Structure 1
Amino acid sequence: MDNIGSIQSTILSPRQSVNTVEKESQGTSFSSVLTDALDQVSTYQRESQALTNQLVTGQVDDVHQVMIAAQKASLSLQLTVQVRNKIVESYQEIMRMQV
């Protein structure tokens, strides 16, 4: 029943919901979110490289740990590339709009 109440309040006062979202989003900017995400991707890449080096030199015996780190790095990089592609597509679409 609580879910229905929240839906009804959104339907009855959509402007209030928009104001709430705007206030919450004022805390972090889009550029800071992107910067944090890129820093995280970089961290995953460095961790994967370090574990791979440790595996090659015999310092790490757990191959699973190395593979998991490599997959994390790979997936985060793929996600970053796809987000970048969507941003570029959106920008190009906006530039094609006639004013």
Structure 2
Amino acid sequence: MDRKHADAMADAVLAEPTAQQRARQQRLQQQRAAAAEQLARKRVVAWLSLAGMVTGAGLAWAAAEPVVTGLLWGGLGSASLGWLIVGLSAPRGR
């Protein structure tokens, strides 16, 4: 690479981003933020579901019912409740 090519590459790297590049970067940041928020909501539901499964299994064991049935119903009920809570607490206008 000669000096002319090196200068052209350095100018390209050090140049200010254009309006189109800034808009693209902003869109990517918004998409990443939205994906991070969605992942956080899914994690909340997963933790609630896990807690419900444990509770359901404990109640099933105490009631002399099959533990698997308690796991399934506890997980299903708490996941449904979790999605309801997460859905109601989500910010509006998006």
TM range (shorter): 0.3 to 0.5
Q: Which has the larger radius of gyration?
A: 2
Using the size of structure 2 for normalisation, the TM-score is 0.40
